[in-house]
Structure 1
Amino acid sequence: MTNFEGTFTNFKNEKLDEFYSAIGIPWVARKMMTASSPTIEISKKDEKWTVKTSTLMSSTSNSFQLGEEYEETMMGGRSIKNTTVIEDNKMITSSQSDRGKSQRVMEFDDNGFIMTMTHEKTELVAVRHFKRV
Structure 2
Amino acid sequence: MVQLNGSYKLEKSDNFDAFLKELGVNFVTRNLAKSATPTVEVAVNGDTYTIKTLSTLKNSEITFKLGEEFEEDRADGKKVKTVVNKESDTKLVQVQKGDKEVTIVREFSDDGLTVTATVNGVTSVRFYKRQ
For these two proteins, the number of residue pairs brought into alignment is 130
Q: CA deviation at 1:46?
A: 2.3
Instruction: Evaluate the alpha carbon distance shift between residue 104 and residue 76 of structure 1 in structure 2; reply closer, same or farther with a 3 A threshold.
Output: closer
Alignment check: 8 A CA contact 2:24 2:76 kept: no
Residues of 2 paired with 1:3 and 1:50: CA distance?
14
Instruction: Return structure 1 stretches of 4+ with deviation > 3 angstroms.
Output: 74-77
Alignment check: 8 A CA contact 1:42 1:50 kept: yes
Partner of 1:61: 61
Q: CA deviation at 1:81?
A: 1.4
Q: CA deviation at 1:58?
A: 2.4
Partner of 1:30: 30
Partner of 2:126: 128
Which structure 2 residues correspond to residues 14-25 of structure 1 after superposition, within 5 A? Answer: 14-25=14-25
Percentage of matched positions with identical amino acids? 28
Residues of 2 paired with 1:3 and 1:79: CA distance?
30
Residues of 1 paired with 2:9 and 2:79: CA distance?
24
Q: TM-score, normalised by structure 1?
A: 0.91
Which structure 2 residues correspond to residues 6-21 of structure 1 after superposition, within 5 A? Answer: 6-21=6-21
In the alignment, structure 2 segments of 5+ residues that lack a partner are none
Residues of 1 paired with 2:10 and 2:104: CA distance?
15
Deviates more, 1:71-80 or 1:108-117: 71-80
Residues of 1 paired with 2:78 and 2:56: CA distance?
19
Q: CA deviation at 1:44?
A: 1.6
Give the SS at the match of 1:2. Answer: coil
Residues of 2 paired with 1:129 and 1:117: CA distance?
12
Q: CA deviation at 1:112?
A: 0.6
Alignment check: 8 A CA contact 2:105 2:116 kept: yes
Tell me the C-alpha RMSD between the 2 structures. Answer: 1.3
